[in-house]
Amino acid sequence: ATASDVTLIGAARQVFKLLLAAVLGMVVTLVHKYYHRDRPLPRSLEQAQVLLCVAGALMMIIIGDSFARAFGVAGGASIIRFRTPVEDPKDTTILFLVLGLGMACGMGIYWVGALGTAFLCLLLVVLDYFGETKPRTMMLEVIADGPEFPSEHVHRVLGATVDFYEAREVAAGEEAMIKYHVTLSPTASLSFLSQQLISGGTAGVKSVSWEAPKKSG
């Protein structure tokens, strides 16, 4: 093989490491998102987990067997400051774990990356049933398709599907609107509740939206 062939093979191997790290990061993120029921997983955190896994692989590719490069990467990483706090300790821990998975890919220890991903995903499923589950609080905005708000239908659906609800804001007009403070189970599906409220457009509800309640202070 010529020198150019060797270079291309080496480059392809490094690209494969990065791609594998990205795939493993996505797998962990999808499982984490599905079993993250205390509050919706921020999109930025989902992307950060995948990118951090790739970053771990890239660091190990750059370092190779060079101690000088290792110190250089460590020094460069110490300059980075993350301004956005991660509230959930589990989210912070998973960031470190996906970094480790990426480093395994970067070192070429693929079986460690694959086995570690499978184990981490399985552990996330198990942990979902471990410990006390806290109810979830959300703000629900229901907009009618006319000036008459379908209170009977909305209250019937909420009464059958959530633990507690209370109207917090009412607006009249061409499209009546009510905002509710809702307490529901961590396993409750917001998309299913939205479908029940809209009821295919036959119940007088135009749109439904959910958001986490704003913190006071």
Asked if 213 contacts 181 with a C-beta cutoff of 8 angstroms, the reply is yes
Asked if 102 contacts 53 with a C-beta cutoff of 8 angstroms, the reply is yes
Asked if 178 contacts 128 with a C-beta cutoff of 8 angstroms, the reply is no
Asked if 198 contacts 157 with a C-beta cutoff of 8 angstroms, the reply is no
pTM of the model: 0.51
Q: Residue 136: which of 58, 188, 61 has the closest Cα?
A: 188
Residues of the chain with pLDDT under 70: 1-6, 36-41, 67-89, 129-134, 215-217
Q: How far apart are the first and last CA of the chain?
A: 67
Structure confidence by residue, pLDDT tens digits, 88-139? 667 777 777 888 888 888 888 888 888 888 888 888 877 776 655 667 788 9
Q: Which two three-digit tokens encode residue 111?
A: 């079986």
pLDDT of residue 217: 45
State the DSSP code for 85. -
Give me the numbers of helices (H) and strands (E) for the chain, helices first please: 7, 4
3-state secondary structure of 176: coil
pLDDT of residue 112: 83
Q: Residue 167: which of 155, 175, 157 has the closest Cα?
A: 155
State the DSSP code for 143. E
3-state secondary structure of 92: helix
Strand residue runs (E) in 22-86: none
